[in-house]
């Protein structure tokens, strides 16, 4: 097999890259180790920045997003028993939209299949070869047959645990990592959302977040220990803790209860590798970076990566040289590190750290009060939350 661009991973990064390149007339083959059902059903982040919505809409895969997405013009910061709204739209002219990552994946898969572009699921034994040549290759098995895909360019969009980053020789990448001393216990409940906009709550017992997947599906998170045993969290305890952390000074909680459909624990970490390239292999999305979910940047960063990468590949394909490809890593990393900074800031601002230091607690409250009372503070949060420019970063 032979193609211009081989793409590993059928998540938002790989699928959007394939979609953008197909629209530019560039041949791609997209290979995924999991089944189509698996990638379409795995629940991930569900908040899209304005720039992400604009890209999906402009490239013809935003019809269902426009119909079913839930635009949000603000968020609420809740602390000391009071809520404070940050007017995202009023401060920046932009909004965010609730639309599940799995829905973005479904839309992009449907578009790729409708276009007749190659999309191979359940590829076994994936291995990267020839990285030190100008013809990288992917070896894999499908339907019991050994296959080799020769590429001009290889895009590693296969996530944190994928094969592409690990195929780069040892010592070629610089790794930056921070592991946080807490995690999120997340639930999906058949209940109305606590509010029409997200609520971020800072409480002495720990952080809590109230969001949604739809007008009838609530998504809630509680700060917990990384080693938390879900068996120790029956439904009654989860609801009681959410009410306690979300309650106002009058003791009333906006959280509405319902049957819990899913639950899980998400570790909190920051991770970046530099550069996001080795030879003709280019990394994008979670293969190159992870952010804590506090800033809602994970999928949006992946989208931003492939917008930059697709334009660089298109320029190279049209005979405009290697300048944009050579600059891909540094261009993407400018935005990535700003998103890391914002995610770290939100995490540090809202979570209870080990020991419950009263000094740190007071500093967090002072910072929150400043953000909510200062036009400059609110604008800084709003500008980062709705998303920095996709390329300028």
Active site residues: 72, 200, 293, 297, 385
Please tell me the number of Cα atoms within 13 Å of 180 on its side-chain side.
27
Residue 36 in 3-state DSSP? helix
Please check whether residue 59 is in contact with residue 36, taking contact to mean a CB–CB distance below 8 angstroms: no
Q: Pairing between strand 82-86 and 199-202?
A: unpaired
**Crossing angle for the helix pair 50-58 and 298-317, to the nearest 10 degrees:** 40
**Four-residue CA torsion sign, 228, 234, 240, 246:** positive
Per-residue tokens: 372: 């909510």
Please check whether residue 342 is in contact with residue 297, taking contact to mean a CB–CB distance below 8 angstroms: yes
CA distances from 129 to 148, 154, 288, 320 (A): 10, 10, 19, 27
Please check whether residue 116 is in contact with residue 25, taking contact to mean a CB–CB distance below 8 angstroms: no
Q: By CB neighbour count within 10 A (0-12 exposed, 13-18 middle, 19+ buried), where does 243 fall?
A: middle
Per-residue tokens: 5: 């661009």
Q: Which residues pair with 70 in a beta bridge?
A: 98
Alpha-carbon distance 15 to 31, whole Å? 10
């Amino acid at each position: 097999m032979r193609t211009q661009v081989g793409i590993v991973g059928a998540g938002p990064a790989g699928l959007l890259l394939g979609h953008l390149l197909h629209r530019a007339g560039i041949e791609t083959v997209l290979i995924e180790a999991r089944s189509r059902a698996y990638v379409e059903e795995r629940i991930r982040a569900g908040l899209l920045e304005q720039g992400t919505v604009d890209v999906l809409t402009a490239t013809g895969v935003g019809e269902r997003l426009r119909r079913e997405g839930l635009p949000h013009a603000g968020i609420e910061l809740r602390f000391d028993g009071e809520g404070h709204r940050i007017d995202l739209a009023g401060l920046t002219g932009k909004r965010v939209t609730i639309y599940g990552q799995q829905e973005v994946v479904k839309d992009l898969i449907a578009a790729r299949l409708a276009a007749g572009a190659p999309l191979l699921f359940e590829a076994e034994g994936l291995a990267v070869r020839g990285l030190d040549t100008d013809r990288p290759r992917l070896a894999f098995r499908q339907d019991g047959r050994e296959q080799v895909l020769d590429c001009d360019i290889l895009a590693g969009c296969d996530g944190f645990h994928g094969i592409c980053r690990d195929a780069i020789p040892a010592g070629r990448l610089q790794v930056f990592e921070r592991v946080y001393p807490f995690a999120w216990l997340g639930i999906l409940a058949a209940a109305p959302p606590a509010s029409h906009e997200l609520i971020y709550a800072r409480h002495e017992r720990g952080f809590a977040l109230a969001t949604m997947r739809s007008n009838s599906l609530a998504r809630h998170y509680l700060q917990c220990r990384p080693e938390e045993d879900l068996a120790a969290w029956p439904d009654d305890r989860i609801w009681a803790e959410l009410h306690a952390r979300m309650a106002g000074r009058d003791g009333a909680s906006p959280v509405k209860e319902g049957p819990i459909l899913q639950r899980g624990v998400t570790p909190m970490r920051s991770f970046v590798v530099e550069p996001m390239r080795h030879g003709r292999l280019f990394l994008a999305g979670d293969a190159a970076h992870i952010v804590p979910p506090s800033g809602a940047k994970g999928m949006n960063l992946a989208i931003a990566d492939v917008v930059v990468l697709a334009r660089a590949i298109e320029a190279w394909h049209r005979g405009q040289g290697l300048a944009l490809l050579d600059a891909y890593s540094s261009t993407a990393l400018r935005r990535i590190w700003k998103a890391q900074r914002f995610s770290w800031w939100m995490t540090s601002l809202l979570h209870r750290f080990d020991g419950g230091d009263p000094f740190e607690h007071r500093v967090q409250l002072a910072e929150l009060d400043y953000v909510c009372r200062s036009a400059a503070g609110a604008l800084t949060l709003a500008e980062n939350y709705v998303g920095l420019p996709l390329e300028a970063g």
